[in-house]
Amino acid sequence: MTQIRFDGRVAIVTGAGGGLGRAHALLLASRGAAVVVNDLGGSLNGVGGDTAAASQVVREIEAAGGRALASFDDIATPAGAQRLVDAAAQAFGRVDILINNAGILRDKTLVKMEPADFEAVVRVHLLGSAWCSRAVLPLMQQQQYGRIVMTTSAAGLYGNFGQSNYGAAKLAVVGLMNSLKLEAEKFGIRVNTIAPVALTRMTEGLPFARMLEEATPERVAAGVAYLASESCDASGIVLAAGAGYFSTVRIIEGQGVHLPAGDISPETVAARWGEISAEADARPFANAGAALLGAFGGDRG
């Protein structure tokens, strides 16, 4: 088996001062990439800042013979994201890989949540991913090569009590990926998403944390490194990863029914709900156009 390497490649990893981001950065560096380690150094809920975390990861990479640069820019703002990408390009001459990993938590049920807490989580997870991708795409387009990896979560894919802000942002990055994969394809840029399960400071306080003892960040990083490599030529993948488990996640649509024009009513929808909700022969669609063709141009009975 040919070893996947990143010699000559430059990677940016956001939220890389600890946990999953640190594991991603260390693995990419160990395989030859120059890595920009971005971390604001704030608390789990996004308050404050500290340069120590990112600087320590840079020291680890350099001690192992790798090349790295620390960044403390706030990627939740367009200006911060642009400074991060500019620093990477200035230091290493190019940017080949962007791992959108940064995140914060402010958990409460929606009815008890302050609007500022909802917006803060969306800014970091969703807007941070968008602004960093926006800043790096011109470089990747010019190079005719790039790999972008988003980070989603089971809370976004399936929901989780008390995490409406986090879940909304985490599913939104999948939507971001689905559009960017189409916009970037002709430039040789691939955009994919990791759905990690790992024991980090974001999960250690959860009721099921003891179940995650074998779910180390390093076991997720292997999947991220694949998605970030030349070996992965696919785009639009959501890869679930944790404790040695890997699986792709897909949004699918059932075959459904076409109701006669003269018989479209709430009562008819209710009467034929069994057929409408049937999952047999459900299928994924590559883009919105394909879904529309499937709905209006296909034979659904």
| pLDDT (mean) for 93-118 | 97
Distance, in Å, from the CA atom of 133 to the CA atom of 131, rounded to the nearest integer, reads: 5
* Residue 252, strand partner residues: 284
Which of 160, 168, 186, 225 lies closest to 20 in space, CA to CA? Answer: 225
Catalytic residue flag (residue 166): yes
pLDDT digits (tens, 9 = 90+) for 125-162: 999 999 999 999 999 999 999 999 999 999 999 999 99
Q: Is 99 helix (H, G, I), strand (E, B) or coil?
A: strand
> Catalytic residue among 145, 158, 166, 226, which?
166
Whether 208 has a pLDDT exceeding 70, the answer reads: no
How is domain 10-249 classified at the CATH fold level? Rossmann fold (3.40.50)
pLDDT confidence of residue 215: 75
CA angle, residues 155, 158, 164, in degrees to nearest 5: 50
pTM of the model: 0.92
How do the domains of the chain map onto residue ranges?
A: 10-249, 252-296
pLDDT digits (tens, 9 = 90+) for 114-127: 999 999 999 999 99
| pLDDT (mean) for 71-96 | 98
pLDDT confidence of residue 192: 98
Helix axes 128-143, 164-184, angle to 10 degrees: 20
Higher pLDDT, 291 or 192: 192
Distance, in Å, from the CA atom of 243 to the CA atom of 212, rounded to the nearest integer, reads: 8
Q: 125, exposed or middle or buried, with CB in 10 Å at 0-12, 13-18, 19+?
A: buried
